[in-house]
Amino acid sequence: HLTIGVLAVQGAFEAHAQVLRSLGVNAPLVRLPEDLASLDGLILPGGESTTFLKHLERNGFFDALGTFVRHRPSFGTCAGTILLAKDVRNPVQKSLAVLDATVERNAYGRQIDSTIQETETTLPGGPMEMVYIRAPRIASVGDGVEVLARRNGDPVLVREGRILAATFHPELSADRRVHELFVEMVRQDKLAHSATEAHAG
Ligand code: GLN
């Protein structure tokens, strides 16, 4: 069984945990740095990134998370994407800096721009419903970043190696494709790790 933790210091964590469980994955809530120890992957949910940072500044959580996202698959949605991005603007803000992207917070306006759109993606299965809640804008991405979907030209779903990031909230739609993709990324990563460990042992 795969175990994918959901960061649960604040924000929209419960819906992510439910989607993961519906896909047959163990989904413990991560509230303390030591909860990261036995995870195969991690979801960083939406919420308020400044509030996340405040919580994470306690008991070495920020550094533990930084180590985790550099070694295991991690999936950010909305505020989670802001935490993963290398460059955060509006205003400039500290981040874990593992996703080669520039992100502008609240770039589509305040509460007004909470919206639902149908958008094409590179995933099979046709257009996808995307729920945006005070979403950030991915203004630019580095060469190593694969863009899986765009909204009016801006990337909204991107992947860079073990990192997956969405500016929308896939956990709030019935469509499971984004979570299924992440679960598959985690499965592949775990296989690669156990192969290396078997070889070393
Ligand atoms: N506006 C939030 C931020 O800047 C993100 C909103 C969300 O996660 N739904 O952190």
C-alpha of residue 92 to centroid of ligand 1, in Å: 14
Which residue has its alpha carbon closest to ligand 1 atom 2? 48
**pLDDT at position 32 over 80:** yes
pLDDT given at position 123:
97
The token pair that represents 184 in the structure block:
């598959």
CA 189 from centre of chain = 16
Q: What is the pTM of this model?
A: 0.96
Concerning whether 193 is annotated as a catalytic residue, the answer is no
The question of whether 34 is a catalytic residue gets the answer no
Considering only residues 194 and 183, tell me which one the structure prediction assigns the higher pLDDT.
Answer: 183
Quick one: average pLDDT of 3-13?
94
3-state secondary structure the chain: CCEEEEECCCCCHHHHHHHHHHCCCECCEECCHHHHCCCCEEEECCCCHHHHHHHHCCCCHHHHHHHHHHHCCEEEECHHHHHHEEEEECCCCCCCCCEEEEEECCCCCCHHHCEEEEECECCCCCCEEEEECCCCEEEEECCCCEEEEEECCEEEEEEECCEEEECCCHHHCCCCHHHHHHHHHHHHHHHHHHHHHHHHC
48 annotated to a ligand binding site: yes
In this predicted structure, the answer to whether residue 201 has a pLDDT above a threshold of 60 is no
Establish whether this prediction's ipTM goes over 0.90: yes
102-136 confidence digits (pLDDT tens): 999 998 876 567 899 999 999 999 999 999 999 99
CATH number for region 4-200: 3.40.50.880
Q: Is 126 annotated as a binding residue?
A: no
How many angstroms from the chain centroid is the CA of residue 46?
9
Rounded Cα distance, 81 and 120, in Å: 20
How many angstroms does the Cα of residue 56 sit away from the middle of ligand 1?
A: 16
Q: Is 133 assigned to a binding site?
A: yes
Provide, rounded to the nearest whole percent, the portion of the chain with pLDDT above 90: 89
> Sorting pLDDT into bands at 50, 70 and 90, what band is 4?
very high
Q: What is the mean pLDDT of residues 45-55?
A: 95
As a whole number, mean pLDDT of residues 71-97 equals: 97
| Token couple for 90 | 């509006």
CA of 200 to the centre of ligand 1 (A): 42
Ligand 1 pocket list (CB less than 6 A): 46-49, 78-79, 82, 105-106, 133-134, 136
The residue whose CA is least distant from atom 5 of ligand 1 is 79
Separation CA 187–CA 167 (nearest Å): 23
